[in-house]
A and B are shown apart, each in its own frame.
Chain A
């Protein structure tokens, strides 16, 4: 009888065929979604109309990952939501099966494979690396040692003109009160090598733009990481009179999307110099502000965009005397909601609502430029739906439709398994002779063999 560990139990998981290895689950339970490279069996399953990722993995790792993902959610770090760990599985013959970790599929998320399969412009690649670096730094700030930073282990979501990255694999991770420089350097060197490997692979597959080189891209993650880490945590020293520099530093951090919760300020005894160092910085400066004003949950750049729009709305309507929260709710009623209502329901799976609003603003700017006068918001929304949204692929759930290689996937439910092998039969392997049955059990200590070895 399988055992379910879950903070939010859902009885619809109980009747699933837990007695079957994931690789043998019937097709009607599965969804073909793209995903990164994994060393485990991973399947996307649908339960009650909701999509989940299920990963078969040994018990201690399943538990560890469930707890780490739970911790990350608690710490407000962008990561997928853990749903349950199913242990105590046995197959029809009573032999044990590895537990399954279930996480919720992140809506409107794009694995890098999907992005590249559909063709990526060079500047988009840079944006993906940037998003990964922001996630990486945010995780390090909270003491999270990732252990396996890679494009495969994140999902991307559109964030206005940028991307936001979410962690999807926490198997190798550890949470510490804070990270030592050695730990960060180690994580960084893993990231460097992993990204290099992934970009080389994209290059070998012919889906990396010719103007990009794997080495330069991989090196850029190091420099970008160091720049951002330095800006967020580095100490600066000023002459005693330049106290405005303190405020300037805080503004710079805000501009990067970080709140300063603690700032160390040391003044020399004679007042000649001031030394400042941010001690606690928190990501989500703009998204928290937007949430407070409107209740909208948005990515950081989306939030920045919407907050600007609220500011413009306030100025245009002459509402400077009103409280911010009141303006927020007026803007919701008069701008945000009407735009979203202009999107027919069958097109709502193409972009998440906040991204739609951002793209409508972009489209309005473009239309206004062309018309040489300001186009009303609703009119721009209708034009956007007609000119752009209708032509976009559905991204609420991006199905796996490889466009580059028109070959049959080896397993349509496990895209990372590659394509049907056309290289003929496998060559002999001297290490795999198939006599595994003679192996001793893992917990058997053959002391006689050890003695014989020592003497021989």
Chain B
């Protein structure tokens, strides 16, 4: 078990005009499940690879526990890349398929057997140990691949988009299994994904990255409830938060013909005459007062539904107008083509961001 610490770790690719990862600092607790998430090119994989020893660290340091591993070769870091090898060897038993790396490392047979048995128990594969792997399902193959990493008892597990080659169904079940397993094993884990839903459902904490810079590190709920800037606000959540530019007026900020009430103290922190108001789809309700929205589509999903529309008078046509998504109850679903007023269910769910810096001011 160990902590992982990045201190201003920076990676600049030769010929690039800005770092792929810029002064990345992060402390990952012992046994923590840390997810690095962000859009393609944000530097999350490069960060993981610096930790794995696959990418040179141009400046800064990386520690695993008390050990400075910044310049250590990958094999000396006591880490395991999970899901690196999915190949199942047809002539070998499931047990041998799980434990062969230990055999290569010269671990005595008794200890090998014990570690494999422990891993198999955790993975629900005990009954399969003596069998050949040919009849295993996709999910069972995944578990054997996890078992290969588990038996090595590394200090840190690294996973780089491990679910990206799975179909949607297996992806959902495997992510739950990985998270549950990690919690039981308590091995510090760094997990990279571009998928914010995956990040939110799996991580103890999530580090959101963009353009090589760390934006925010927090628990899933904190990220969701208090995003530090417009990027995190828009990136976390599905469907995404509605982010609406609004002119500062007396008592709040104006969207269409409606003034969203915002306190004077918050507005005082604005850096221009406009703020960006953020409201999540599920924090809207249809009300007698509120933002006027022309309903374009209503998507009913059982008892719930989503309303898609545009802010009345916000643009010349449906393309240029500001798009709005709201979660509604199917009972109150309006007709398409009508106009409704949407209000926040609670003033506390209204997020306000400075226009220029993009930083949260509410």
Contacts and interface: CB of A to CB of B under 8 A. Distances in A.
Interface of A: 37, 39, 57-58, 60-61, 98, 148, 150, 152, 171, 177, 180-183, 185-186, 189-190, 192-194, 196-198, 200-202, 204-205, 215, 218, 410, 416-419, 421, 423, 426-432, 436, 439-447, 450-451, 454
A185 B282 contact: no
Interface in B230-264: 237-238
Interface stretch (B84-92, B308-316, B318-326, B339-347): B84-92
B227 interface: no
A440 B172 contact: yes
Contacts of B135: 421, 423, 426
A439 B167 CA distance: 13
Given A180-B56, A443-B195, 19 more contacts: A183-B54, A185-B73, A186-B53, A194-B85, A204-B92, A205-B90, A215-B104, A416-B90, A421-B134, A427-B128, A431-B123, A441-B168, A442-B197, A445-B237, A447-B200, A447-B224, A450-B200, A451-B221, A454-B221
B131 A152 contact: no
> Which of A150, A410, A429, A430: most chain B Cβ within 10 A?
A429
Contacts of B92: 197, 200-201, 204
A204 B74 contact: no
Interface string B11-54: 00011000000000000000000000000000000000000111
A444 B97 CA distance: 35
Interface size of B as a range? 35 or more
A423 B132 contact: yes
Nearest to A36: B87
Contacts of B123: 431
Nearest to A61: B165
Contacts of A180: 54-56
Contacts of B168: 441-442
Contacts, number: 155
B74 A57 contact: no
Given A58-B164, A441-B168, A189 B75 contact: yes
A338 B196 CA distance: 67
A197 B140 CA distance: 19
A333 B221 CA distance: 78
A60 B73 CA distance: 31
Contact of A197 (B89, B125, B141, B195): B89
Contacts of A196: 100-101, 104
Contact of A204 (B75, B91, B195): B91
B139 interface: yes
Interface string B72-96: 0111000000001111111110001
A429 B124 contact: yes
B238 A431 contact: no
28 contacts: A152-B87, A177-B14, A180-B54, A182-B52, A183-B54, A185-B75, A186-B53, A189-B75, A192-B104, A193-B101, A193-B104, A194-B87, A196-B100, A197-B89, A201-B90, A201-B91, A204-B92, A418-B132, A418-B134, A423-B131, A442-B169, A445-B197, A445-B201, A445-B237, A445-B238, A447-B200, A450-B220, A450-B224
